[in-house]
A and B are shown apart, each in its own frame.
Chain A
Amino acid sequence: MRNLSQIQLQETSIIEDVIEHPLKTKLLEMGFRKGKTVKLIKTAPFGDPIIVELSGYKLIIRKEEAKLIKLAS
Chain B
Amino acid sequence: MEERTIKIALIGNPNTGKSSLFNQLTGLNQKVGNYPGITVDKKIGYFNLSDSIKAELIDLPGTYSLYPRSRDEELVMEVLSNPLNEHFPDLILVIADATNLRRNLLVFEQIKDLGLPTMLIVNMIDELEKSDVKLDLGRLKYDFNVAAIATNARKGKGIKELKGKIIEIDQKKFVSKEIKLPFNYNAVWEKQLKEILGLENPYLAWHWVAQPHLRTKLTGVAKQKAEDLEKKFNINIQRLISQEIINRYNKIDLIIDECIEDTKQIKSSVITDKIDQFVLHKTWGFFILIGLLLVMFQSIFSWASGPMDLLDNGLAIAASWLGEVLPDTFLANLITQGIIPGISGILIFIPQIALLFLFIALFEESGYMARVVFLMDKLLRPFGLSGKSVVPLISGYACAIPAIMATRSIENWRERLSTLLVVPFMTCSARLPVYTILIALIVPASVTYFGFLSAQALLLLFMYVLAAATALFASLIVSKSLKLKEDSFLIMELPNYKLPRLKNVLYTMYEKTKSFVFGAGKIILSISIVIWLLSSFGPNDKFYNPEKYIDFSIAQVDETQTKESKIESYKLEHSFIGYLGKAIEPAIKPLGYDWKIGIALLTSFAAREVFVGTIATIYSIDATDEETTTIKQKMQNDIDSKTGKPRFGIATSLSLLIFYAFAMQCMSTIAIVKRETKSWAWPIGQAVMMTLLAYLLSFVTYQTFA
Contacts and interface: CB of A to CB of B under 8 A. Distances in A.
Nearest to A53: B268
B246 A31 contact: no
A44 interface: yes
A37 B75 CA distance: 33
Interface string A1-43: 0000000000000000000101111111111011000000010
Nearest to A32: B491
B323 interface: no
B489 A26 contact: yes
A55 B102 contact: yes
Contact of A27 (B99, B374, B377, B491): B491
Interface stretch (B20-28, B237-245, B508-516): B237-245
A51 B374 contact: yes
A46 B379 CA distance: 8
A45 B263 contact: no
B653 to A, nearest CB: 40
B374 A60 contact: yes
Given A26-B69, A55-B103, A45 B493 contact: no
B280 A42 contact: yes
A49 B67 contact: no
Given A29-B64, A65-B489, A60 B370 contact: yes
A25 B241 contact: yes
A25 B245 contact: yes
A50 to B, nearest CB: 9
Contacts of B245: 25, 28-29
A72 interface: no
A45 B69 CA distance: 28
A47 B268 contact: no
Nearest to B65: A29
Interface in B59-73: 64-65, 67, 69
Given A26-B491, A60-B490, A48 B103 contact: no
A62 B489 CA distance: 7
Contacts of B285: 45
A56 B375 contact: no
Contacts of A48: 377-378
Contact of B103 (A20, A30, A47, A49): A30
The residue among A25, A29, A47, A64 with the most chain B CB atoms within 10 A of its own CB is A29
A43 B249 CA distance: 28
B374 A49 contact: yes
Interface string B376-396: 011100000000000000000
Interface in B226-271: 238, 241-242, 245-246, 249, 263, 266-268
B348 to A, nearest CB: 38
Contacts of A34: 246
Given A45-B286, A55-B102, A55-B103, A24 B377 contact: no
A34 to B, nearest CB: 8
A45 B241 contact: no
A61 B490 contact: yes
A24 B242 contact: yes
Contacts, number: 104
Contacts of B106: 29
A60 B492 contact: yes
A60 B491 contact: yes
A44 B377 contact: yes
Given A28-B242, A45-B285, A58 B378 contact: no
Contact of A65 (B280, B283, B378, B491): B491
Contacts of B263: 56
A56 B493 contact: no
Contact of A28 (B246, B266, B487): B246
The residue among B99, B106, B246, B491 with the most chain A CB atoms within 10 A of its own CB is B491
B282 interface: yes
Contacts of B276: 42
B238 A25 contact: yes
B469 interface: no
B506 interface: no
B373 interface: yes
A15 to B, nearest CB: 12
Contacts of B268: 53, 56-58
Nearest to B280: A42
A48 B268 CA distance: 22
The residue among A27, A49, A55, A64 with the most chain B CB atoms within 10 A of its own CB is A49
Given A29-B64, A30-B103, A60 B494 contact: yes
Contacts of B280: 42, 44, 51
A56 B69 CA distance: 24
B224 interface: no
The residue among B246, B249, B266, B373 with the most chain A CB atoms within 10 A of its own CB is B249
Interface string B67-83: 10100000000000000
B305 interface: no
A11 B246 CA distance: 25
Given A25-B245, A64-B489, A49 B377 contact: yes
Given A58-B494, A60-B370, A44 B69 contact: no
Nearest to B281: A45
Given A42-B280, A46-B378, A56-B266, A30 B491 contact: yes
Contact of A23 (B64, B489, B493): B489
Interface in B95-148: 99-100, 102-103, 106
A37 B105 CA distance: 19
A61 B492 CA distance: 7
Contacts of A20: 238
B48 to A, nearest CB: 36
A70 to B, nearest CB: 14
Given A28-B245, A65-B490, 15 more contacts: A23-B491, A26-B69, A26-B491, A28-B242, A29-B64, A29-B65, A29-B103, A47-B378, A51-B494, A53-B268, A56-B266, A57-B494, A59-B494, A60-B493, A62-B377
Q: Which 6 A-B pairs rank lowest in CB-CB distance, beginning with the nearest?
A: A45-B282, A58-B494, A46-B378, A28-B245, A29-B65, A56-B266
Interface of A: 20, 22-31, 33-34, 42, 44-49, 51, 53, 55-62, 64-65
14 contacts: A20-B238, A25-B67, A29-B103, A45-B285, A45-B286, A46-B378, A51-B374, A57-B103, A57-B493, A57-B494, A60-B374, A60-B494, A61-B490, A61-B491
